[in-house]
């Protein structure tokens, strides 16, 4: 595990007893945790364990029904202004990229900065081109999402989230929809981002990435966190039976 | 087979004294048309037919525009998070989609016929007049100063073009070649867009100055005024026209609302989520992300609704509106030329429909350059 010199002791996300139901189905059964500024947390677990739902409650794409979530001092409630404030501070990257197909890659990135941060077109485009440069795909700026590869689309999506200058980045299985040979180009970008000091919550099955980058690994099962530890402890000395089984299954291949 | 039917038809027609020919179109029509283009009973059948065509086009085009606006409003409203708005939209759609169109047109006609007499006209702001003869709206007419003003407008356009060219030249000089290369996709289009803040005011100043420098007022609003027993001036829509327009608009807008709703719902959920995650407000999500992607889904079924509206306008005959079909029927009654006139009517509808769908297909191709 690499020492993360970026973390501070101030929590930027605080979750207290967060519950969520989809009709009768109890997805999140009381999640209590907090994330420090600059922390890199990897969230894993079997499908249906509530891990995606959990990170989606943090920018209110899912509404939690009980408990409190405080992001950078703002409590998530039904107050639309609070939700919009938090969404400006929290970037999100999706499994299916969700780029806007009717806009060029560049316009995908400038939409938020121009409409929400109220930047001029020129300034937004300059920033977007700089981000694409950082993602190593500046030459794809004027193409449409459908004209570039999956790995490139996901990097455009990361640039789109970063263009809002967020304090926190959420990644919801960012490499699960990619062809194997494109996974590393996306992970490289995420690694670079982690080293820049961004607070990151990553739902992923990439255990190599988790071991290398994470400060903490949280293991979800049936809506509760059953184990959380630093990567070294998590992989080499798992405590829970369920975790042991998961690790042996994922590390087999 | 076809040859037999054709020769049989030809001999039958000449036996009846109506050989197949279009020469009757040059004869005097002898009936009055009080709707649309000025028409005198001494005008020819050909002109009568043309008046009918124009009346059909008038009600169809206006109906298509109004139905689209209403349909979009109610379609979006059906997906509102507000219970009241959603329910009102649902009730509107279900009522007007499920009552026969003919009944609706007769209903609106009964309402327009119960409007007050001319002496008791309803007037709105002294410009819009509503009475049993329909609705009177103001029009804009040109005065003798108009040609002079048009020259000012033309020179304004010329000046604006010069400004754009100067701006483009300056940018070529000032900007480094690097900027010109990254400023893709098109340096030219970007330059014109960049120059709009200089060119538009130049044009406006010339246009406004020209307005005051032209002799008299170049354009004037003509309000309908009561002269004797009738209103003169402005533009008049008859009760028949109004009833047909409202009937077609309301009926078709209910269908368009459903088309719009299903188009919006067909946009995948992830698109809304991504737009929200960037921090856009709900209105921005709808206008900037969802609707642009819904339009290509909406356009093909929307085209069908446009064609339906144009063809349904032939129900005009039920309330005596003199559209293409109604005028055609009158011509048949007077001349007995059933086959050529029906042929002309069918060809007219066909041309209208094919033009509409050709335009809509072109529009759809233009907006679906991106793949989904």
DSSP A217-241: EEEEETTEEEEEE-HHHHHHS--SH
| Strand residues in chain B grouped as ranges (E) | 122-124, 128-131, 134-137, 139-142, 219-222, 225-227, 230-232, 235-237
Please answer yes or no on whether A146 and B288 come within 8 Å at the CB atom.
no
Return d(Cα B320, Cα B31) in angstroms, integer. 14
Please answer yes or no on whether B277 and A59 come within 8 Å at the CB atom.
yes
Three state DSSP letters for B250-305: HHHHHHHHHHHHHHHHHCCHHHHHHHHHCCCCHHHHHHHHHHHHHHHHHHHHHHHH
* In a domain? residue B35: no
With contacts defined as CB-CB under 8 Å, which chain B residues touch A112? 278-280
Encoded tokens for A138: 């500046």
Q: What is the tens place of the pLDDT at every residue in B112-146?
A: 888 888 777 788 877 788 888 888 888 888 777 78
* In a domain? residue B267: yes
pLDDT in the model for residue A8: 66
Answer whether A14 touches B (CB < 8 Å).
Answer: no
Q: Are residue B134 and residue B146 in the same domain, yes or no?
A: no
Return d(Cα B32, Cα A128) in angstroms, integer. 67
Q: Are residue B116 and residue B236 in the same domain, yes or no?
A: yes
> Taking an 8 Å Cβ-Cβ cutoff, which residues of chain B contact chain A?
182, 184-185, 270-271, 273-281, 284, 288-289, 292-293, 370-372
**Which of B185, B203, B221 is the endpoint of a domain?**
B221
ipTM given for this complex = 0.91
Q: Read off the pLDDT band of B177 (50, 70, 90).
A: low
Answer whether A109 touches B (CB < 8 Å).
Answer: no
Q: Are residue B198 and residue B296 in the same domain, yes or no?
A: no
* In a domain? residue B217: yes
Alpha carbon distances (Å) from A223 to A29, A35, A174, A176, B83: 5, 18, 21, 21, 32
Task: Sort A23 into a burial class: Cβ within 10 Å, 0-12 / 13-18 / 19+.
Answer: exposed
Q: What is the largest CA-CA distance in chain A?
A: 55
Check pLDDT > 50 for residue B183: no
**Which of B159, B192, B221 is the endpoint of a domain?**
B221
pLDDT in the model for residue B186: 57
Strand partners of residue A216: A41
Return d(Cα B120, Cα B350) in angstroms, integer. 43
Check pLDDT > 60 for residue A253: no
User: How distant is the Cα of B271 from the closest Cα of chain A, in angstroms?
Assistant: 6
Q: Are residue B76 and residue B176 in the same domain, yes or no?
A: no
Q: Are residue B257 and residue B315 in the same domain, yes or no?
A: yes
Q: Are residue B151 and residue B127 in the same domain, yes or no?
A: no
Q: Which of A213, A215, A154 is nearest to A185 (CA)?
A: A154
Q: What is the mean pLDDT of residues A73-88?
A: 87
CATH number of B328's domain: 1.10.3720.10
Q: Are residue B126 and residue B146 in the same domain, yes or no?
A: no
Q: Could you tell me if B290 and B271 are in contact, meaning their C-beta atoms sit under 8 angstroms apart?
A: yes
Q: Read off the pLDDT band of A53 (50, 70, 90).
A: very high
* In a domain? residue B70: yes
* In a domain? residue B9: no
With contacts defined as CB-CB under 8 Å, which chain B residues touch A96? 270
Q: Is A116 left (phi over 0), alpha (psi -120 to 50) or beta?
A: alpha
Measured in whole angstroms, the distance separating CA A111 from the mean position of its chain's CA atoms is 20
User: How distant is the Cα of B295 from the closest Cα of chain A, in angstroms?
Assistant: 11
Q: Are residue B243 and residue B206 in the same domain, yes or no?
A: no
Measured in whole angstroms, the distance separating CA B351 from the mean position of its chain's CA atoms is 16
B278, closest residue in chain A (CA to CA):
A112
Q: Are residue B367 and residue B263 in the same domain, yes or no?
A: yes
Residue A213 CB partners (closer than 8 Å, separation 6+): A2, A40, A42, A190, A191, A194
* In a domain? residue B206: yes
Q: Are residue B267 and residue B163 in the same domain, yes or no?
A: no
Alpha carbon distances (Å) from B97 to A52, B250, B257, B305: 42, 9, 10, 12
This prediction's pTM: 0.79
Does a cis peptide bond (omega within 30 degrees of 0) precede residue B259?
Answer: no
Q: Read off the pLDDT band of B372 (50, 70, 90).
A: very low
With contacts defined as CB-CB under 8 Å, which chain A residues touch B280? 111-112, 115-116
Q: Are residue B253 and residue B321 in the same domain, yes or no?
A: yes
Whole-number average pLDDT of chain B: 86
Q: Which domain holds residue B208?
A: 142-221
**Which of B169, B196, B221 is the endpoint of a domain?**
B221
Three state DSSP letters for B298-348: HHHHHHHHHHHHHHHHHHHHHCCCCCHHHHHHHHHHHHCCHHHHHHHHHHH
pLDDT in the model for residue A1: 43
* In a domain? residue B2: no
Return d(Cα B172, Cα A102) in angstroms, integer. 31
B81-85, B198-202, B280-284: segment of lowest average pLDDT: B198-202
* In a domain? residue B167: yes
Query: First vs last Cα of chain A: how many Å apart?
Result: 22
- The 10 Å Cβ neighbour count of residue B125 is 7
- The 10 Å Cβ neighbour count of residue A212 is 15
The total domain count for chain B is: 2
Query: First vs last Cα of chain B: how many Å apart?
Result: 50
Return d(Cα A14, Cα A180) in angstroms, integer. 35
Q: What is the mean pLDDT of residues B93-112?
A: 95
Radius of gyration, CA atoms only, chain B: 27
Check pLDDT > 80 for residue A240: yes
pLDDT in the model for residue B86: 95
Q: Are residue B54 and residue B146 in the same domain, yes or no?
A: no
């Amino acid at each position: 595990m690499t020492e993360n010199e970026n973390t501070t002791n101030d929590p930027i996300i605080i979750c207290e007893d967060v519950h969520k139901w989809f009709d009768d189905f109890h997805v999140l059964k009381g999640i209590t945790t907090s994330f420090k500024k600059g922390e890199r947390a990897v969230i894993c677990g079997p499908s249906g364990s509530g891990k995606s739902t959990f990170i989606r409650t943090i920018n209110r794409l899912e509404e939690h029904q009980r408990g409190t979530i405080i992001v950078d001092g703002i409590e998530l409630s039904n107050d639309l202004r609070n939700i919009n404030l938090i969404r400006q501070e929290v970037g999100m990257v999706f499994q299916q990229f969700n780029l806007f197909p009717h806009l060029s890659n560049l316009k995908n990135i400038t939409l938020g900065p121009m409409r929400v941060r109220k930047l001029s077109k020129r300034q937004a485009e300059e920033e977007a081109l700089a981000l694409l440069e950082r993602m190593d795909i500046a030459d794809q700026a004027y193409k449409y999402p459908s004209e570039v590869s999956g790995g490139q689309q996901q990097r455009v999506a990361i640039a789109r989230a970063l263009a809002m200058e967020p304090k926190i980045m959420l990644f919801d299985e960012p490499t699960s929809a990619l062809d194997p040979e494109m996974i590393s180009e996306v992970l490289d970008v995420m690694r670079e981002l982690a080293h820049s000091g961004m607070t990151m919550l990553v739902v992923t099955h990439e255990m190599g990435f988790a071991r290398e980058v994470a400060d903490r690994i949280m293991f979800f099962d049936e809506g509760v966190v059953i184990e959380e530890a630093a990567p070294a402890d998590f992989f080499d000395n798992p405590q829970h039976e369920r975790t042991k089984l998961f690790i042996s299954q994922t590390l087999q291949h | 087979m076809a040859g037999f039917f054709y020769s049989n038809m030809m001999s039958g027609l000449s036996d009846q004294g109506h050989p197949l020919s279009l020469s009757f179109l040059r004869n005097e029509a002898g009936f009055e048309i009080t709707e649309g283009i000025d028409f005198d009973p001494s005008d020819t059948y050909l002109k009568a037919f043309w008046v009918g065509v124009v009346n059909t086009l008038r009600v169809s085009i206006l109906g298509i525009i109004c139905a689209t606006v209403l349909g979009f409003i109610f379609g979006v409203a059906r997906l509102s998070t507000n219970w009241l708005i959603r329910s009102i939209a649902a009730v509107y759609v279900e009522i007007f989609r499920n009552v026969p169109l003919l009944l609706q047109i007769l209903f609106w006609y009964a309402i327009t016929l119960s409007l007050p007499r001319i002496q008791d006209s309803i007037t709105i702001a002294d410009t819009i007049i509503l009475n049993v003869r329909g609705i009177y709206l103001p029009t804009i007419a040109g005065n003798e100063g108009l040609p002079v003003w048009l020259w000012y407008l033309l020179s304004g356009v010329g000046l604006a073009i010069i400004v754009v060219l100067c701006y483009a030249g300056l940018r070529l000089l000032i900007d480094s070649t690097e900027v010109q290369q990254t400023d893709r996709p098109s340096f030219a289009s970007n330059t014109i867009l960049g120059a709009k803040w200089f060119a538009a005011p130049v044009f406006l100043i010339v246009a406004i100055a020209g307005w005051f420098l032209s002799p008299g007022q170049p354009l004037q609003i003509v309000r309908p005024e009561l002269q004797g027993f009738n209103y003169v001036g402005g533009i008049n829509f008859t009760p028949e026209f109004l009833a047909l327009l409202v009937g077609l608009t309301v009926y078709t807008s209910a269908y368009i609302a459903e088309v719009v709703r299903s188009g919006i719902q067909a946009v995948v959920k992830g698109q809304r989520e991504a737009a929200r995650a960037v921090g856009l407000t709900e209105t921005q999500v709808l206008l900037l992300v969802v609707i642009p992607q819904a339009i290509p889904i909406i356009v093909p079924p929307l085209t069908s609704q446009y064609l339906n509206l144009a063809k349904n306008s032939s129900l005009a005959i039920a309330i005596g509106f003199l559209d293409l079909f109604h005028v055609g029927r009158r011509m048949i009654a007077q001349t007995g030329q059933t086959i050529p006139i029906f042929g002309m009517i069918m060809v007219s509808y066909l041309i209208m429909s094919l033009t509409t769908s050709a335009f809509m297909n072109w529009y759809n191709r233009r907006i679906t350059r991106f793949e989904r």
